[in-house]
Copies of this chain bind each other. A is one copy, B any other.
Amino acid sequence: MARIALDAMGGDHAPQATVAGALLAAAELDPSHAIHLVGQAALIERTLDALLRGEYAAFAAHRARLNVVDAPDVIEMAEKPSAAIRGKPNSSMMVGLRMHAEGRCDAFVSAGNTGAQMAASMVLLKLLDGLKRPAIVTLFPTAQQPVVVLDSGANVDCTAVELVQFARLGSVYAHDMLGRQNPAVGLLNIGEEAEKGNAVCKEAHALLAESGLNFVGNVEGRDLPAGRNHQGPVDVVVCDGFVGNVVLKFYEAVAPLMVGLLVKAGLEQERITAALRQLDYSEYGGAPLLGVRGVSIICHGRSSPRALKNAINVAVQAVESRLVDHIGNRLNAAADGAAA
């Protein structure tokens, strides 16, 4: 049983896309789960009415599953995070995360201002013991199964110790959420050899080798789409959020470029789209912010209803697998090991 709060006001297409995503999720999820739509109540109700009169008429039976929670303020996509969370305590972002912090729900999902969601999650949910920073986890589609990449944008100028912490977070995530046994962890770098890379990577390589994790060495840019490095398949790739974010956004933009060229050359768009479905980010739902005491799922601003539905599914799975407890245990075990 999971209670999910969805930021109804967050994202480029809110509240239409968010409310529609909640309807899709309600139709799909077991009735034991609850969905809270957090935002301007009157607007959410009007949006529900409009959707159920139109494209989503078949979902009328699921309206009763959605609980609307009023939050009068909205944090805009371009607002400065720190000012926004201080200045708008009654925003959908802050109200939803406060519900989670106070135990009135089990997870929070938003396609709103990412910086504000990170800052508010750290302020309201707090970091797990021993962590300096949370990390955003993204699943990279590959030729094989998806690879867990973190950090994909929460942090820049990471230290080697922080990269090792990301490796621990990602390893638990790959196990709990993707069912990977003893996940293979790689370090994003510019060559195979241990001595390659920048100063932080060289230090991180040495620390990872002694971390007790299943460290399989460096992963180069070319290994990411393959889902494997020179040693074999990789489940988790750790990197500084700067390079992680650049590569993630690059990846998201390359597929449309290629599809565009193919369509221009007369190939059938439908067949192309079907062939490339495994590269479609929205299949994987949102990106969890790992390291906070709770489940905070970050979605793309331009998320579709289907992407939001998938993000709600990710939230449910994170709650049911007790991901956050497991991460906490893993960090405590590592700290005990270091102290011993």
Binding site for B on A (CB under 8 A): 142-143, 153, 156-157, 188, 190, 197-199, 201, 220-226, 240-243, 245-258, 260-262, 264-267, 271-272, 274-276, 278-279
A247 B247 Cβ-Cβ under 8 A:
yes
A271 B275 Cβ-Cβ under 8 A:
no
B265 A275 Cβ-Cβ under 8 A:
yes
A275 B279 Cβ-Cβ under 8 A:
no
Q: A156-B190, A190-B242, A247-B247 are in contact. Are A272 and B276 (CB under 8 A)?
A: no
A156 B221 Cβ-Cβ under 8 A:
no
A190 B246 Cβ-Cβ under 8 A:
yes
Residues of B contacting A153 in the complex (Cβ-Cβ under 8 angstroms): 190
Residues of B contacting A262 in the complex (Cβ-Cβ under 8 angstroms): 262, 272, 275-276
Assembly CA distance A4 to B220 (angstroms): 32
Assembly CA distance A247 to B251 (angstroms): 9
A279 B261 Cβ-Cβ under 8 A:
yes
Q: A222-B253, A253-B221 are in contact. Are A242 and B198 (CB under 8 A)?
A: yes
A222 B242 Cβ-Cβ under 8 A:
no
Assembly CA distance A64 to B148 (angstroms): 55
Rounded to whole Å, the gap between the CB of A80 and the closest CB of chain B is 10
Choose from B142, B221, B267 the contact partner of A247 (Cβ within 8 Å): B221
Assembly CA distance A243 to B253 (angstroms): 17
Q: A247-B250, A250-B251, A272-B267 are in contact. Are A157 and B198 (CB under 8 A)?
A: yes
Residues of B contacting A256 in the complex (Cβ-Cβ under 8 angstroms): 225
B247 A222 Cβ-Cβ under 8 A:
no
Assembly CA distance A256 to B256 (angstroms): 15
B221 A257 Cβ-Cβ under 8 A:
no
Residues of B contacting A143 in the complex (Cβ-Cβ under 8 angstroms): 257, 260-261
Most buried by B among A157, A225, A251: A225
Residues of B contacting A197 in the complex (Cβ-Cβ under 8 angstroms): 156, 242
Residues of B contacting A274 in the complex (Cβ-Cβ under 8 angstroms): 265
Q: List 21 A-B contacts (CB under 8 A).
A: A190-B242, A190-B249, A198-B242, A201-B242, A220-B246, A221-B246, A221-B247, A221-B248, A221-B250, A223-B253, A226-B257, A243-B246, A246-B246, A246-B247, A250-B250, A261-B275, A262-B262, A262-B272, A265-B274, A267-B267, A267-B272
Residues of B contacting A272 in the complex (Cβ-Cβ under 8 angstroms): 262, 267
B261 A258 Cβ-Cβ under 8 A:
no
